């Protein structure tokens, strides 16, 4: 076994990325305070050809040196838009026929592994603030909520880790 060199990975150029068929998912970040988390979500979105990221509320926007540290250029490939409120983002994507799901621990949430992903739908996934999660006002506008099952003492994952887990689960269900 030999570790592959970067030149062997057949990475897309920025223009190839922009022209590539995207995974029918947008990500909505609801008041994310950590610039490193924002950058990490950009990198995850790039990895799985996500359509767009909506940066809402206090969520910082590129260009930003701290976001760039973890995004590693993904802010140049992944389309993004800033909106003052998460409600505005939800309204916008619903008008474009996306099904909207918050990733949050709520009553009657669907566990991620049990969520049926349809190739006939487009999805908007909302990830919330590091301390408070997805706002209740945003949850009330969603089509449902998805929960990542956890059995440890914390019952809490970093938002960038949650985004990676959920986006991967959706990506594999849509593509395999």
CATH of the domain at 166: 3.40.1280.10
Summary mean pLDDT of the chain: 96
pLDDT band at 62 (very low <50, low <70, confident <90, very high): very high
Residue-level pLDDT at 7:
87
In a domain, 11, yes or no: no
In a domain, 1, yes or no: no
User: Tell me: the pLDDT tens digits for 80-139?
Assistant: 999 999 999 999 999 999 999 999 999 999 999 999 999 999 999 999 999 999 999 999
- pLDDT of 4 > 90? The answer is yes
- pLDDT of 40 > 90? The answer is yes
In a domain, 128, yes or no: yes
Q: How far is CA 99 from CA 27, 38, 41, 79, 160, in A?
A: 12, 22, 20, 19, 21
Q: Which domain holds residue 77?
A: 20-175
Pair 100, 93: CB distance under 8 Å: yes
Number of domain units in the chain: 1
Task: Phi first, then psi: give them for residue 117, nearest 5 degrees.
Answer: -95, 125
Q: What is the mean pLDDT of residues 131-151?
A: 97
Pair 30, 86: CB distance under 8 Å: yes
Residue-level pLDDT at 5:
92
Residue-level pLDDT at 10:
87
pLDDT band at 6 (very low <50, low <70, confident <90, very high): confident
Q: What is the mean pLDDT of residues 50-64?
A: 98
* pLDDT-above-90 percentage for the chain: 95
* pLDDT-above-70 percentage for the chain: 100
In a domain, 5, yes or no: no
- pLDDT of 44 > 90? The answer is yes
In a domain, 107, yes or no: yes
Q: How far is CA 45 from CA 2, 16, 51, 141, in A?
A: 27, 15, 8, 23
In a domain, 111, yes or no: yes
Radius of gyration of the chain (CA): 16
- pLDDT of 38 > 90? The answer is yes
In a domain, 119, yes or no: yes
In a domain, 89, yes or no: yes
């Amino acid at each position: 076994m030999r570790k592959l060199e970067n030149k062997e990975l057949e990475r897309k150029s920025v223009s190839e990325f922009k022209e590539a068929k995207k995974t029918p998912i947008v990500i909505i970040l609801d008041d994310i305070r950590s610039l490193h988390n924002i950058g990490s979500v950009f990198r995850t979105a790039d990895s799985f050809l996500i359509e767009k990221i909506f940066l809402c509320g206090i969520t910082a926007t590129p260009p930003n040196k701290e976001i760039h540290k973890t995004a590693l250029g993904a802010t140049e490939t992944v389309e993004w838009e800033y909106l003052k409120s998460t409600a505005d983002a939800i309204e916008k994507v619903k008008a474009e026929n996306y099904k909207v799901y918050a990733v949050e621990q709520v009553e009657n949430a669907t566990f991620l592994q049990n969520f049926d992903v349809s190739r006939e739908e487009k999805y908007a996934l909302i990830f919330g603030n590091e301390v408070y999660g997805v706002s209740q006002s945003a949850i009330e506008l969603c089509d449902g909520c998805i929960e990542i099952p956890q059995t440890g003492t914390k019952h809490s994952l970093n938002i960038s880790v949650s985004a990676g887990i959920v986006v991967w689960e959706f990506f594999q269900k849509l593509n395999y």
